[in-house]
Structure 1
Amino acid sequence: MAKKSGIEQHRGIMNAFAAVLKKLNISGEDVELARRKLQLPKIDHALELKLKTTGLEVENGLRNENIEFCSPNSFIFYKRRPMMVYIKDQYHSMEQHEKGKFNPFHICYCEQLQENIRKNKLQRYVVTNNLSGEFIVNLKVKGYDGEIFFEEEGRTERLHVCQSCLRMLNWKNFNRYCNNTGIGVWYNGGDPAGRFNIVRRFSIKEFFAKVEDEYFAGKLNLYSAAASLDDAYRLTGKEKFELKESRGFKCEYCGQRKRPDALQIHHKDHNKGNNSPKNLAVICEDCHDHIHEIEGGFKQLH
């Protein structure tokens, strides 16, 4: 009997594996989902359920070490899972209340979200990956006299996606319907009906699927939201010098001894908010540039 080739053996194993999965009623999509989940930081069941339902409240704006943005699209992540954020405490004028307008949820770190955080640094946000489109809000409505006319806590509302986010991402060719004349702001003019049609048809599930595909394909570089919002999370000049000194003023890639000002600090996971000593490498400028040119960064070079 002829010996089977390596290709034939591999095909036989895969066919047997596929037969077992079919018998267990497990699809290829289930396998891929499980594979991806194994690559994420572990979270307990209670936190996972909270993120999928009521969401997790984050104090002090978005200054949280577990929240990350990404380049180039500024998607929002919590423990490496794509998220939306929204303001739980919504304060409305009587006019807003009568029109049924609520503050939207954000799918990326857009200009409007940045402006909101600048204006109110202590704003309480909620991060969530709830697919229902319904969010729990605390509503306070001011009357025409400036006094509180109406308030309700724990109210469930269907919020719209932020148009500033859609514009930043040009989701479904959103920018086609904006004011692109260069005169005035983007939301004055253009085709408001076309913009709202995209808002109305926005699918959270479709959006998350796109972000996950890009993340697991290695197309996104994540960085700490805390580091981008607060200088307190960045290394000081003294800390950088002490780190270089502790590594003997040598580049950890090429091994050459350099002047302190010719050495740089590299974050191995590309998260500038993760200043754990194990995540930091002292390297020269040439090696630093070389590392960032290679997909996978520092880890792939060693």
Structure 2
Amino acid sequence: MSRPVLRFAPSPNGRLHLGHALSALLNARMATSLGGRLLIRIEDIDRTRCTPELEAGVLEDLAWLGLDWEQPVRRQSEHFNDYAAALDRLSAMGLVRKAFLTRGEIARAVAKLEEERGVRWPCDPDGAPLYPGDEAVLGPEEIAAREAQGAPFALRLDMAAALARCTGLRADPLSWQELPDDEGRQAPARIAADAARWGDVVLARKDTPTSYHLSVVVDDAVQGITHVVRGRDLYEATAVHRLLQVLLGLPEPLYRHHRLVPGEDGRKLSKSQGDTALAELRAKGATPEEIRRRVGLAP
């Protein structure tokens, strides 16, 4: 029987903070308890913000925490062909649509539609307004003109068509297996995956050949990930990931979404909050044991 495989997958667009430390340590602890393997994946599809220097800092922080992982490290920027192949498969199924509306145009269109209809436009679980469709905002001539001009675009999943195809591939409703949380207070459960709440999610852009949603499911399958341990902020996104896994015929991992480490203002930590950066804490004399205590993990 193959060993469990876990992964910690940071984006090197800043130094790691306490929230990353919790996630990395939980992955390492679960890998040890299961007698499994721990992998590190560098999620660097954003080639503007992600740099080799920041990647080196991320790996330095993880080594300082005491993590031990298998080599080689997988870098998403080295595997764009894998994501392009998955995108081509979805496109061949008729599930991908080209979208020219910019974020600003979507915001203005939604505001206009809300005013005309007198109702609030639906938003995805992250609070962004659902994509209304180019056809609802741009006329056919404008869409054709942008196409001819090579205007920037996004490739979006046609959610309605994707869900219809998923229904034809499965006898049971789409769901995922959620394991008990890191404190053991939540029982294992089968969670209904409501991908429709996300609308036509972005799969790639003209200048970036993949998105987080697409690359994460491809990477997890390629690396044989059996257990996905990540923050609660990605809980709702799992519905999209399960949908893509079914459409692409990829295996289903087990999931555990752990608590987040809040900042002093009670909100989710960000890489811009230097006072919680591991490098800064280390420079002030913090030890790995102190970091473990600070994120609520007993030594």
* Same-fold status (TM-score > 0.5): no
- Higher-Rg structure is 1
Normalised to the residue count of structure 1, the TM-score between the two structures is: 0.19
Higher strand share: 1
Normalised to the residue count of structure 2, the TM-score between the two structures is: 0.20
